[in-house]
Every structure is written in C-alpha cells, then in structure tokens.
Amino acid sequence: MSVPAPPTAPSAGTALGSGLGPGAGGRVVSTVHEPVTGDGTTFASRSRSRWRSARWPLVVLLSIVVVAVLAALSRPPVSSIPLAPDNPSPQGAQALARVLEDQGVRVDHVQRVSAAVSKAGPGTTLLVTSDVELLPEQVDVLVATGADLVLVAPDQYTLDSATGGAADVAYSWGGGDAVRPAGCTDVDAVAAEGIRSSGSGFVADSPDAMVCFPHPDEPGSGAYLVVQDGDRRVVALDDSRTLANQTIGQDGHAALALRALGHHEDLVWLVPDYRDFSTGADGVGTGIAALLPPWVGVVGLQLLVVTIAVALWRGRRLGPLVTEDLPVVVRASETTRGRGRLYRRARSRGHAAAGLRAACADRVAGRLGIPRSAAAPALVDAVVRATGRPADQVAHLLYGPPPADDAALLELARHLDQMESEVYHP
C-alpha cells in the first residue's frame, strides 16, 4: 500500500517567475514559509542526557575493573605446582629458593624448555624438577646446554642422556625412613652428613660416577648421584623431599640442597609444563610466543571458531542494499490488518485465498522436504502420505477454486490450518 506524497508548497522562484500578481486575474500569491524548527536540544543537553542514561552501567563496569585489579595486585604471586620456587605449600620449594636468593644466587623460574635453553649455559646451574612431562628431544636440548645439571628423580633415559651412561636407576625401594649417612667423599654430601630418602636410588657404572647415602639393604645403590665430566657437574636426587618445604629442615636436606644448587651465581629453575612442546633448538618458542601465557592458543582458536560461526550466521542475508528513511513507520500487524481490510472492501476473496494457500504450501513443502520448484502433484502426494487424507481433498484445499463468500474463505482457512497441523504433528 503506497502512501500518497504530501502536497508541496510552490517555491519562491516559481511564485516570482509565474507573472502572477495584482495584474494577473486580481489574485495575489503569497510565498510565506513556516520557520524551520528543531527538537529543542543542543549538543550539551544531548550529552547530559546520554551521560545520565549510561553513568550507572559505566560505574558498575569501572567498579568491577577496579576490584579485579586490586585483587590481582594484592594476591601474592604464588602457585600450587610441586617443587615450584613460588609455591609456599608443603609440596613447594619456596623456602629453598628464598634462602638461595639471600645467599646471592639469582633464581630464574621458567616453565618452558625453550626458555631454559636460552638462559642456561656453561657457568650456570640448571635444575629440572621433573622429567615426566618432557619429551626425549626436550631432554636432549637441556643436556646440550652445557650447564651443571641437578635432576630430581630422573628416569633412565634422562639419566643416560645427562651422564653418558655412567649410571643407572637402581629401582630399589623399601629402605625405610631411617637417616642415611653420606658414605662417600663428595664434599656436598659430607657436609650434609645424612638425609632421608624413599626413592629408587642410583647405581654407578663408571669411575666418573659416585653414589652417596647408600641404601641400607643394597650398599651399591645410593640416593644421591654425582658425575663429574670435566668442568661440568651432574647431580641427581632420587627423592623430591630433599627440596620440599615440608622436609627441607630435616636432617641434612637443607645443606645438601643449598650446596648442590649454589655452585654458581645463576640458577635456572625449570618446572616443566605438560602443555609445553618447545625445544629451542631452532628458535622454537624463543620469540614473542614464549612471552604469551600458555592458554593464548586455545582461547585464540575458540575466538576464531566463534568468529566463523557468526560470519556464517549473519552472512546468509545481505539486508537492504539501500537504507531509506520512511516518513511513517507502520507496524507489521497494522499493515497485515490493513491489507486484509482492503481485500474485504474489494471482495477479493480469490487473492486472500491464494495468499493463504501459497503460504500453507510453502510451509508444508519445507516441512516435508519438497523443493520450491516441485510440481503440484508432488506436493499433493507428499501431503497425502503425511496426513492420510484423500488426494482429491488435499488438491482441492491447496489448488481449488476461490471461495464464493466470506464464510467459505473462513472455512478454507480453518481446513488449511488443520491440514498443516497434521503435517507437523502426524
């Protein structure tokens, strides 16, 4: 339904050029225009109105940000990872790290192998708290750094790679929790005097290897291994209790740990992360990516999936090619009722029935999987199979003649609605 354009007043140029005046038929044409007025607002008033409507959401958002920042700043930088130098729990090693720092040792806590490879080297000490999360190639690049190694409960592959096969894991348990004397000539072990261990122990297979704190039942194995390879020193502990906060103060644990880790001024403390697969051999993990948190990749992948989903969702429709400001906005319900009244006034029952039938056929075809290009018999057959109605009845409802009066039109609408409900709920 088109809305007629409002009549326009003649412009000043038209009125003046028309030659109309007192001498033209005795009529005088006035060209007075109504003054153009706005909505009575200014930039300042609109700004104040927008601020009043948005200030409370902004205040709430700002409060949340402030609380989050204060919580992050007030929370001490600690973790719950076993043997981490920032873990104050009984399974952590913060006490040992603090004492080492007080003695002048620079403790560099890392969780990526690539970071450890870039920072460790000759003249430094590299502590590996666990090798369970390490790949064989990661173990190889850590050993190749040339730094003095301190390994905690290493497996056989790590021990072979670090010592060149000079020692083996003994795999002997059951020695109890008694204090074990040093039983060797290593100066660090002699200074510790005695420790407790429940680890698997080590066995020396080379004159360059020395085992200390021997097993009570197997004197050939010990809880502490030292391999001197030229200027490089490799140390292995079979029990993490020697470094943990809960047991660092027992017997000679503190003395042994401090001396084993304090040979150099720089200590690289590696607590491997199971999500880390970097090696650093070809620069992998040593660039900007090494500075990012480990969850950045997962979050980035999720954002990519969401972006693609939104693009597919919103990209199905182009929308209006040209946006036109209409003079009057009419609700869809009012438009529908107005069109119906026009049909009723013009007695266009055929148009109304055709619209009802076309809409019903389109919805039913979509429900039954019939393409829009299908012929009428194909749709009729599909509806017959879905509802069990006779074929001539379905054809009459969908493609019959126009109703003769308003009562027949209402009856047709009721039957179409009933048939459509039978298709959706057979």
- Residue 370 in any domain: the answer is yes
Residue 23 three-state SS = coil
Q: Are 273 and 337 in a shared domain?
A: no
CATH code of the domain containing 221: 3.40.50
pLDDT given for residue 394 in this prediction: 92
| Positive/negative CA dihedral, 127, 182, 104, 125 | negative
Question: Hey, what are 180's tokens?
Answer: 């074990």
Domain that holds residue 377: 332-424
Q: Are 274 and 397 in a shared domain?
A: no
pTM of the model: 0.54
Q: Are 338 and 240 in a shared domain?
A: no
Final residue in a domain of this structure, among 254, 284, 314: 284
Check residue 3 and report its DSSP letter. Answer: P
Of 85, 88, 90, 81, residue with least CA distance to 247: 90
pLDDT given for residue 279 in this prediction: 82
Overall domain count for the chain: 2
pLDDT given for residue 75 in this prediction: 58
pLDDT given for residue 323 in this prediction: 63
- Residue 75 in any domain: the answer is no
Whole-number Å distance between alpha carbons of 220 and 216 = 10
Q: Are 201 and 346 in a shared domain?
A: no
Q: Are 256 and 336 in a shared domain?
A: no
Whole-number Å distance between alpha carbons of 392 and 234 = 94
pLDDT given for residue 278 in this prediction: 85
Q: Are 250 and 121 in a shared domain?
A: yes
- Residue 297 in any domain: the answer is no
- Residue 142 in any domain: the answer is yes
User: Tokens 């040339």, residue?
Assistant: 146
- Residue 207 in any domain: the answer is yes
Hey, what amino acid is at 353? A
Q: Are 266 and 337 in a shared domain?
A: no
CB of 291 closer than 8 Å to CB of 114 = no
Check residue 178 and report its DSSP letter. Answer: P
Residues 6+ apart with CB under 8 A from 219: 183
pLDDT given for residue 345 in this prediction: 86
Final residue in a domain of this structure, among 284, 302, 321: 284
Check residue 291 and report its DSSP letter. Answer: G
Q: Are 152 and 241 in a shared domain?
A: yes
Q: Are 253 and 131 in a shared domain?
A: yes
Q: Are 256 and 377 in a shared domain?
A: no
Residues 6+ apart with CB under 8 A from 40: none
- Residue 72 in any domain: the answer is no
- Residue 295 in any domain: the answer is no
Q: Are 106 and 216 in a shared domain?
A: yes
- Residue 243 in any domain: the answer is yes
Final residue in a domain of this structure, among 284, 317, 352: 284
pLDDT given for residue 7 in this prediction: 38
Q: Are 98 and 161 in a shared domain?
A: yes
pLDDT given for residue 144 in this prediction: 92
Per-residue pLDDT tens digits of the chain, which is 426 residues long = 333 433 333 333 333 333 333 333 444 433 343 343 344 456 676 677 778 777 887 888 888 888 777 766 665 677 889 999 999 999 999 999 999 999 999 999 999 999 999 999 999 999 999 999 899 999 999 999 999 999 999 999 999 999 998 999 988 765 567 889 999 999 999 999 999 988 888 999 888 899 999 988 888 889 999 998 888 999 999 999 899 999 999 989 999 999 999 999 999 999 998 888 888 754 444 445 555 566 667 777 888 888 888 777 766 555 555 566 767 777 878 888 887 788 888 888 888 899 899 999 999 998 888 887 888 999 999 999 999 999 999 999 999 999 989 899 999 999 999 999 999 886
The DSSP H or E segment spanning 213 is strand 209-214
